[in-house]
Structure 1
Amino acid sequence: MDEWSTLEGLGLASAQLRSLARRGSFSRDDGVSIEFCNFCQENAKHHVLLFTGWDESFLKYGDVISELLQAGINVYAMDWRSQGLSGRHLLDPQVTYVQSFDDHLDDLSFFVNQVVVEACGVRTSQLTCLAHSMGGLLSLMAAAGDRGLFQRLVVCSPMIMMKCGMPHFVALWLGRLFCRLGMGSSYAPGESGVDVSRPITMKLTTDKARLATWERIRRAYPIVAMGGMSNLWVVEAIKAQDWFRARAKQVSVPVLLLEAGMDVFVCTSRPFRELCRAVPSCRRLCYPTTYHEILFEKDWARSHAMKATIAFLKSGEYPAPGETTVITPPRLSEEERQKKMKLLLVRFCFVVVGAGLGVAGVAFSKRRGSVLAVRK
């Protein structure tokens, strides 16, 4: 149960996280264990719910949690059922399976009302929420359902419309077909298990160091690594997305939307524009050169996103309502530009030399073959 001590020993978490972490779990009628971890400081005036995306765990968010704590914000994090450290419905722990996204929403409500409010003594009027990808969709659904669980919401790359590699109606039809054939718990087409000893190849972030940190966490706790979605999960996810988009206007809490410009997992432009039109209090920050996980991106994007997130969670003042702001990388200094040009020139020279040696080798082989043929 003491994951943070293990991660601290591996240099992947701070002593502060280990000392403040309070691990626990709960289960509802179906008996699936939902794991959570709370980080509480005395006299903190701000409180945030942290909900992760698909194929994640709160163990991944150590740096994010540390920054929130340093800003005087207590953190309450939960792993979704069939993911992270939480319990599974199936024997294969790498298959993401859920009977309905309503189960996720009921888990979210139980966590807030029974764990955070009742056990920790925090009022919902004090709560805000930070959620990524799938967690962003579920948090928006909770807000649209007027569950009154939090007062402000930051969503990072929310899964309002995921990319399926095909039209949604086709993916939904195929998923339902496989479910009728008794394959609802099987991997969806193109999905399979993963080997945690191998590098992650998905385009999650352009920051290789932060991606390597997540790889080390997965090797330390293989249970948090998901292989792929089941057919039923795909069906229920698309139904949940359709449900929310039809009810987006019912979201009454202020929303800060963080958008990754090179996201390969969720559709961004049209769904995000529609969300901001539907929710008058929605603010939108776009980072055009980032991948899906903005909070794990390179420092220029991550730093800006974290500052905006903290300011919004604490006061709701940044940026102005209805405003869409594009955040671009800082320009290189002349010295940095020259250094980059020299590096590119060196790489180009290596390519040219390598190509020249290859051509010379081929020519030598042909000539040698011709000489041997003449001698024979």
Structure 2
Amino acid sequence: MVVRTELFDHPGNPVPEGAVCAIVETPDRVRLRTARWMPTASPLRGTVTLIQGRAEFIEKYFETIADLRARGFAVVTFDWRGQGGSERKLRNRRRGHVRDFSEYVRDLETVVSGVTLAHMPGPHYALAHSTGGLVLMLAASRMRTRFERAVLTSPLIGLGKVGVSQRVVCPLANFLARIGFSRAFVPGGKPKIVFPFETNPLTSDERRFRRGEAVLRGADDLEIGAPTIGWLAAACRAMRRLFDPSFGPAMTLPTLIVCAGQDAIVSARAAEAFVRQTRVTSFLEIAGARHELLMEDDLYRDQFLAAFDAFVAEGALLSA
């Protein structure tokens, strides 16, 4: 299967200078595209591993990577299996599919061990979005010795208001996956996800929205469509694990969860309920923002960056 080994450079979204790209292979022999950068400002404050959401790709985060580097952070990021420039195992490359979220945990552990800890300076922090936030939480018991702190934006802890209720969707997805429809698109799902800006649930910032569209027009091999039924069933199992009575109290990775007040993709209320079950997790909601906080209007994005800065600085003070 084809793996994109380089970063796509677009006039409206140029590759940040100093990128080091590498392909790493997971224990189950899936090749992942990774990229890393050193900071552009002093003093060096450590490394942020930037963990994407579903259907995303490294190029989408160039602005955020520049922001982090300007704050004195080195940055590592990567594409999950089955999306972006990483290896896709299905014949139909547009289907976002995994059998179980343990596969994503394997991706994360491979990158953290083989890139973040192997090549980049500490202390180490994680910044994870949506599906990436769920994966990081699943791996939190092992990541506690690798990351000082984690910040999650709009984590997939519960499904939002788009479509049918989670109480209906999850049992149905599990049933359909078990009877042989695991690799089929979710009902109504298509190979290409198209949102008109005027009704999109992701961001209120038209410039950033159009920038993402332009990148995919120039490099459509980075794109995937709707998730498969098996992916959705796996996500439901993973979300359910977070609410096991033993999970929250066992969390020891200091984490800030930042949710968007107008998020229709994931449930801020589910995230808030999860936080109440833990001792080391904090919750912040940014009123008026949509799902993609790092692609949002500066009014909301700046609030998030201020919260990130404060949370990381607090950790640095406590460990000093």
TM-score computed with the length of structure 1 as normaliser = 0.76
**Does residue 78 of structure 2 align to residue 74 of structure 1?**
no
**Contact 2:47/2:74 (<8 A) preserved:** yes
**Contact 1:20/1:41 (<8 A) preserved:** no
Q: Deviations over 1:81-135 (max 9, x none)?
A: 11111111211111111121101101111111122212x0545xx1110000000
Equivalent AA in structure 1 for residue 158 of structure 2: M
**Contact 2:39/2:71 (<8 A) preserved:** no
**Contact 1:157/1:258 (<8 A) preserved:** yes
The aligned counterpart of 2:248 is 248
Paired with 1:37 and 1:235, the residues of 2 have a C-alpha distance of 30
Secondary structure of 2:242's aligned partner: helix
The aligned counterpart of 1:343 is none
Equivalent AA in structure 1 for residue 261 of structure 2: G
Secondary structure of 2:126's aligned partner: strand
The aligned counterpart of 1:133 is 130
The aligned counterpart of 1:105 is 105
Q: Deviations over 1:25-54 (max 9, x none)?
A: 112243321111111248723111100111
Cα 1:180–1:212 shift into 2, 3 Å = same
Cα 1:65–1:88 shift into 2, 3 Å = same
Secondary structure of 2:50's aligned partner: strand
Mark the structure with the bigger radius of gyration.
1
Secondary structure of 2:173's aligned partner: helix
**Does residue 295 of structure 2 align to residue 296 of structure 1?**
yes
Q: Deviations over 1:276-305 (max 9, x none)?
A: 222233232211211101111111111121
The aligned counterpart of 1:3 is 7
The aligned counterpart of 1:258 is 258
**Contact 1:199/1:215 (<8 A) preserved:** no
Q: Tell me whether 40-49 or 292-301 shows the greater mean CA deviation.
A: 40-49
**Does residue 23 of structure 2 align to residue 25 of structure 1?**
yes
Secondary structure of 2:63's aligned partner: helix
CA shift at 1:72, angstroms? 0.2
Q: Deviations over 1:178-237 (max 9, x none)?
A: 2233221110112111177x8565310011111011111111211222210101101100
Identity in percent: 27
Paired with 1:214 and 1:96, the residues of 2 have a C-alpha distance of 18
The aligned counterpart of 1:12 is 13
CA shift at 1:312, angstroms? 2.0
Higher helix share: 1
Paired with 1:215 and 1:82, the residues of 2 have a C-alpha distance of 20
Paired with 2:78 and 2:39, the residues of 1 have a C-alpha distance of 18
**Contact 2:286/2:303 (<8 A) preserved:** no
- Given candidates 188, 201, 204, the residue that maps to 1:203 is 201
Matches within 5 A, 1:1-376: 1-4=5-8, 6-7=9-10, 10-13=11-14, 17=16, 19-41=17-39, 44-118=44-118, 120=119, 122=121, 126-144=123-141, 148-163=145-160, 165-194=163-192, 199=196, 202-246=200-244, 247-269=247-269, 271-316=270-315
Paired with 1:248 and 1:134, the residues of 2 have a C-alpha distance of 18
Paired with 1:77 and 1:226, the residues of 2 have a C-alpha distance of 18
Secondary structure of 1:53's aligned partner: coil
Paired with 2:146 and 2:259, the residues of 1 have a C-alpha distance of 24
Secondary structure of 2:288's aligned partner: coil
RMSD: 2.2
CA shift at 1:152, angstroms? 0.3
Secondary structure of 2:243's aligned partner: helix
**Contact 1:68/1:75 (<8 A) preserved:** yes
Equivalent AA in structure 2 for residue 225 of structure 1: E
Structure 2, unaligned runs of 5 or more: none
Equivalent AA in structure 2 for residue 216 of structure 1: A
Q: Deviations over 1:316-335 (max 9, x none)?
A: 389xxxxxxxxxxxxxxxxx
Secondary structure of 2:127's aligned partner: strand
Q: How many corresponding residue pairs? A: 307
Q: Deviations over 1:47-80 (max 9, x none)?
A: 1110011111121011111010000000010111
Structure 1, unaligned runs of 5 or more: 319-376
**Contact 1:93/1:226 (<8 A) preserved:** yes
Paired with 2:176 and 2:207, the residues of 1 have a C-alpha distance of 39
TM-score computed with the length of structure 2 as normaliser = 0.88
